[in-house]
C-alpha cells in the first residue's frame, strides 16, 4: 500500500452470522458495485475487495494480476495512464495504480483476481472498525501494508472483453429511493406518512458507514408508542425524537429502539449509500412484492453478466475433467 486513501478497508458482503452475537454485519456499502468488480476479475461474488471513501488509494503490485475498479467515479491511472472503470485490467509486477479522489459518489472498490488473503472471522473477511475485527488486522489500511492474494497469478482468458456498462443513478442532485413499510409504519399518523413521502430530505454531513442522517421537516413521533429495542435491518429508516430520519447502513447497531417508518428497498441500498452530503432524497413507497420483483430483476441481470463472462473461460475437456476427478477420489 503506497498511499492508503481515506478509510480503505477490506470488505466482503458482510458478517451476517455474527448478528446473534451482537456484531454489526459491516461489509461493503455498495454491494452492487463490489459484486460487479468480483465478476469482472473472475472471483466469486462474496470475495473480499478493497473499499475506499472519497479518496482512493495508490497501490503498487508485486505480482501480475487482473484488477477492476468499480463504484464511485474516479480518474484512475495505471503507471500514469488513465484506465477505465468497470472493466478488467491486467497489471504486472511493479505497476502502480493511483485511484485518486471520487468525482461522483462516495464509495469505490478495487477487486483483485484470486481474492484477498485475510482471515475469515464468523464466516466473513469484512472489517468492523468498531470492534477491531476482521479484514486486515481489524483496521483501515496504512502506508506500507502488504496484502497477498488467495490464488496467486490466476489465469483469466480475454480480460479485455470483461467489461460492464454502468449507469449511475446517484449522480442527480435529487434522487428517488424506493421504500417499503417499516415495522412501525401503521403507528405513525397519516399526516406524518404524507410528509415522509411528499417532502425532500437532504443528506447531512453526519453520514457514515453506520447510518445516513437526513435533514428535512421533522416527522412527528408524538403519538407513536414507546417501544422496546428490536433487531435492525439494512436500510431501516428510524425516526428519533427530533424527527430527523436516520437510514441504517452496514455498520449499524444490531438492535435499536427508535420506530422504523420505512425500509429502503434492497435494490436501492447501493444508490443511497453513494449519496454525498448535500444531495437530496425523495422516498417513494412501494409494496413488498414490488421490492422483491425489483431484487429478482437485479439478480437476473447479475446472472446474465456472469454467464457472459463464464463463456470466456477456457472449456475443460471431458477427458481432463475425468483425470482431475480421479485425483480427488
Q: What are the cell numbers at 147?
A: 496484502
Q: Which of 22-26, 184-188, 252-256 has the highest mean pLDDT?
A: 184-188
Residue 58 has a pLDDT of 98
> Locate cell 454531513: which residue?
205
Q: What are the cell numbers at 213?
A: 442522517
Long-range contacts formed by 19-23: CB under 8 A, 24+ apart: 19/231, 19/254, 21/122, 22/254, 23/122, 23/128, 23/131, 23/133, 23/254
The whole-number average pLDDT for the span 186-201 is 96
pLDDT of 238 over the 60 cut: yes
CB 69 within 8 A of CB 34: no
96-132 pLDDT tens trace: 999 999 999 999 999 999 999 999 999 999 999 988 9
Q: What are the cell numbers at 94?
A: 511493479
> Locate cell 441500498: which residue?
269
Q: Give the global pTM.
A: 0.92
228 φ, ψ (degrees, to nearest 5): -80, 160
Q: Tell me which residue of 238, 191, 192, 199 sits closest to 216, measured CA to CA.
A: 199
pLDDT of 319 over the 60 cut: no
Half-sphere exposure (Cβ direction) of 180: Cα atoms closer than 13 Å: 18
Q: Calculate what percentage of the chain has a pLDDT beyond 70.
A: 95
196-229 pLDDT tens trace: 999 999 999 999 999 999 999 999 999 898 888 8
278-315 pLDDT tens trace: 999 999 999 999 999 999 999 999 999 999 999 988 77
34-59 pLDDT tens trace: 999 999 999 999 999 999 999 999 99
pLDDT of 82 over the 80 cut: yes
- With H, G, I as helix, E, B as strand and everything else as coil, classify residue 46: coil
**Cα 177 off chain centre by:** 16
CB 183 within 8 A of CB 260: yes
pLDDT of 328 over the 70 cut: no
Give residue 146's pLDDT band: very low, low, confident or very high (50, 70, 90). Answer: very high
d(CA 264, CA 293): 14
pLDDT of 22 over the 90 cut: no
Q: Tell me which residue of 271, 266, 317 sits closest to 294, measured CA to CA.
A: 266
**Cα 162 off chain centre by:** 21
Residue 167 has a pLDDT of 72
Q: Tell me which residue of 82, 91, 80 sits closest to 149, measured CA to CA.
A: 91
Residue 113 has a pLDDT of 95
Residue 324 has a pLDDT of 43
Q: What are the cell numbers at 141?
A: 489500511
Written in H, E and C, the secondary structure of 231-299 is: ECCCCEEECCCCCCCEEECCCCCCEECCCEEEEECHHHHHHHHCCCCCCEEEEEECCHHHHHHHHHHHH
**In the beta sheet, which residues pair with residue 58?**
3, 98
Amino acid at each position: 500500500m503506497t498511499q492508503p486513501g481515506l478509510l480503505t478497508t477490506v470488505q466482503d458482503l458482510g458478517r451476517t452470522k455474527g448478528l446473534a452475537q451482537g456484531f454489526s454485519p459491516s461489509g461493503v456499502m455498495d454491494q452492487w458495485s463490489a459484486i460487479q468488480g468480483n465478476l469482472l476479475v473472475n472471483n466469486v461474488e462474496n470475495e473480499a475487495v478493497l473499499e475506499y471513501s472519497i479518496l482512493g488509494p495508490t497501490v503498487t503490485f508485486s505480482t501480475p494480476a487482473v484488477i477492476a475498479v468499480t463504484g464511485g467515479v474516479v480518474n484512475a491511472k495505471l503507471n500514469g495512464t488513465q484506465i477505465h472503470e468497470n472493466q478488467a485490467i491486467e497489471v504486472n509486477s511493479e505497476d502502480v495504480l493511483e485511484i485518486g479522489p471520487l468525482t461522483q459518489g462516495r464509495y469505490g472498490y478495487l477487486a483483485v483476481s484470486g481474492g484477498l488473503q485475510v482471515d475469515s472471522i464468523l464466516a466473513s473477511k469484512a472489517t468492523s472498525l468498531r470492534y477491531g475485527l476482521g479484514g486486515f488486522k481489524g483496521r483501515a489500511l496504512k502506508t506500507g501494508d502488504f496484502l497477498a492474494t488467495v490464488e496467486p497469478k490466476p489465469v483469466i482468458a480475454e480480460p479485455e472483453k470483461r467489461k460492464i456498462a454502468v449507469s449511475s443513478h446517484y449522480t442527480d442532485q435529487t434522487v428517488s429511493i424506493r421504500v417499503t413499510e417499516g415495522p412501525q409504519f401503521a403507528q405513525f399518523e397519516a399526516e406524518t406518512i404524507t410528509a415522509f413521502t411528499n417532502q425532500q430530505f437532504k443528506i447531512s454531513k453526519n453520514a457514515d458507514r453506520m447510518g445516513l442522517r437526513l435533514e428535512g421537516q421533522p416527522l412527528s413521533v408524538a403519538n407513536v408508542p414507546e417501544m422496546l429495542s428490536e433487531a435492525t435491518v439494512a436500510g431501516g429508516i428510524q425516526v428519533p425524537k427530533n424527527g430527523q430520519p436516520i437510514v441504517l447502513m452496514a455498520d449499524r447497531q444490531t438492535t435499536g429502539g427508535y420506530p422504523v417508518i420505512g425500509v429502503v428497498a434492497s435494490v436501492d441500498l447501493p444508490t443511497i449509500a453513494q449519496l454525498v452530503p448535500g444531495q437530496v432524497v425523495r422516498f417513494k413507497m412501494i409494496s413488498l412484492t414490488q421490492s422483491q420483483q425489483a431484487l429478482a430483476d437485479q439478480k437476473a441481470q447479475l446472472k446474465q453478466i456472469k454467464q457472459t463472462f463464464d463463456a470466456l473461460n477456457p472449456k475443460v475437456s471431458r477427458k481432463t475433467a475425468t483425470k482431475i476427478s480421479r485425483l480427488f477420489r
